Structure 1
Amino acid sequence: MKPVLTIAGSDSSGGAGIQADIKTMITNGVYAMSAITALTAQNTTGVTSVMEVTPEFLEDQIDNIFTDIYPEAIKIGMVSSTTLIETIANKLKEYEAKNIVVDPVMVATSGSKLISDDAIESLKKELFPIASILTPNIPEAEVICGKKIETETDMVEAAKIISETYNCAVLCKGGHQLNDANDLLYHNGNYKWFYGKRIDNPNTHGTGCTLSSAITSNLAKGYDLNTSVAKAKDYISDALAAMLDLGKGSGPINHGFSIIGKYAE
């Protein structure tokens, strides 16, 4: 079983963040480990408070993981402060980490920015250049490349700019009224569209975390980028199609839809 690390915040309601990552990784057949960047008090209707860990504590978590169970792949989710971003980058370079998937959580679905301009610049400077793949949605890709994305051609151009600037693969995620969950993978000067299944399910809390964690799991298992993305897209479609319905807001998907056995009875 391949060990995988997620570096992200905790979601007390279990639909996104560390909890979504771990559920996704277990269901995709890898051993999940975590370094927590922040505790959040949230549910399906929103976030009420956030308590960030100290850089020293984050560093200690990462040291303990890498010196004992070296991860085959790393997923990085929401990190909202410059000092924590620098801590992560320094440690991953120190341990020569591989298969780094960065989900650059910067803009909420509503369009409001989730992290400061300083933290965005730190992400660009410290984490993007060491990433194997970035997985921005359209609003995040706009922030990274500085251009408006209104067509599929714009998606290709934005992904090209980001990929060439940071020397990594880019999965520009569709949706956001532009197209139906059709994602664009740009890598080494070539691009490929991944067409999603349209699933009428309003409960989409944590889908970004889930997709990036599934990609990370597949990379750890030795799949190439194209296969890792394709398998992750299939997983998230099936998790949405399981139609879990919890909470009063945008509820979680069923990460463990395919875990079947005597202990689940």
Structure 2
Amino acid sequence: MIKEGKVSYRVFVIAGSEPLGSAGIQADVKAISACGGYAAGAITCVVDEDTEHVKDVCLIPVDMVVSQIQSFMEDVEADCIKTGMLYSKDLVLKVSETIKNYAGIPLVVDPVMVSSSGDQLLEDEAIFCYKKKLMPLATIITPNMREAEILLGRKLNIHGILDDLKELSIWGNSVIIKSVPYKDKLADYFYCPQNGDFREYIKPIIKTKNVNGTGDMFASSIATYLARGWNIIDAIDKSEDFIHKAISYGAKFSFGTGFGPVFPFYKNYTKLQKENLRYRMNISQDRNNR
């Protein structure tokens, strides 16, 4: 229920920034806005990348990141928190310690470890800190297949995926492993340890390189529906539909030479196209009347 006089559905994101607008906190803000939430956030690092490679990462001082979190949480508060790229062991540790002070607020942990092009985005020593400090606070974690294997320390057992899911939920969190090959399709696998709910989301492969930021947007979509008061199952269902349509629409566009963005505002696409058409028709008519 919307509280009159207050901004509702507040999702606070702790993540990196990049210049393309297709991943990181830029993607988070777009997904949260598209799904009906209010997006705010703390910048953890600035990534220099093009559509093919990550070129450099400039870290924001850890104390500054923590201060950004505290400034928002102690003044505005949040209905859900989502973490993205944290990069270093020290940052994972300090963010975990800070978030711990806001118990009761749902936490979506997207363990950003590799980019779409395969570049590693996390220091090796930060992985242990993720599992020791951050995962126990999470409502749900959202690794893709490669990130799940990093967390497990081994390859996924596709024929025993439930066991892998259970291993990644030993901290009490739900887990969804994304983009696992399934015959000629892709599958996402979800597990909730509280009720033993196991679900498969089988979907066709969309032939496109415009998939940069899909993990960011998917996790932020889940965070938004949790902020809106949806239960975890319904939030996952809705977010699966959202990201599939965002990829489908994004596949229609050309963006650079490598991995481009998805299109989260697909609901407004037809409306905007019609608005452009009416504008051009009016301009043309005005010229003809002169």
What is the match of residue 29 of structure 2?
Answer: 22
What is the match of residue 261 of structure 2?
Answer: 252
The count of aligned residue pairs is 263
What is the match of residue 34 of structure 1?
Answer: 41
Of residues 140, 148, 152 in structure 1, which corresponds to 2:155? 148
CA shift, 1:96, in A, is: 2.2
Answer whether contact 1:73 1:99 (CA < 8 A) is retained. yes
What is the match of residue 207 of structure 2?
Answer: 200
**Separation in 1, partners of 2:165, 2:14:** 24
Of residues 115, 121, 126 in structure 1, which corresponds to 2:128? 121
What is the match of residue 190 of structure 2?
Answer: 185
Answer whether contact 2:15 2:84 (CA < 8 A) is retained. yes
What is the match of residue 51 of structure 1?
Answer: 58
Answer whether contact 1:205 1:250 (CA < 8 A) is retained. yes
Give the partner amino acid of 1:170.
V
Alignment of 1:129-140 (within 5 A): 129-140=136-147
What is the match of residue 5 of structure 2?
Answer: none
Structure 2, unmatched stretches of 5+, are 1-7, 277-290
What is the match of residue 179 of structure 2?
Answer: 174
CA shift, 1:244, in A, is: 2.8
Alignment of 1:97-116 (within 5 A): 98-109=105-116, 113-116=120-123
**Separation in 2, partners of 1:107, 1:158:** 20
What is the match of residue 285 of structure 2?
Answer: none
CA-based RMSD of the aligned residues comes to 2.1
3-state SS of 2:185 partner: coil
Deviations 1:119-175 (A, max 9, x none): 001111110010000111112112212332152x33222111111x22110101133
Shift in alpha-carbon separation, 1:3–1:9, aligned structure 2, 3 A = same
**Separation in 1, partners of 2:105, 2:160:** 30
Of residues 6, 20, 41 in structure 1, which corresponds to 2:13? 6
**Separation in 2, partners of 1:72, 1:49:** 33
- TM-score normalised by L of structure 1: 0.92
**Separation in 2, partners of 1:114, 1:63:** 25
Answer whether contact 1:244 1:254 (CA < 8 A) is retained. no
Answer whether contact 1:142 1:158 (CA < 8 A) is retained. no
**Separation in 1, partners of 2:64, 2:104:** 19
Deviations 1:99-138 (A, max 9, x none): 1001111234565643222100111111001000011111
Structure 1, unmatched stretches of 5+, are none
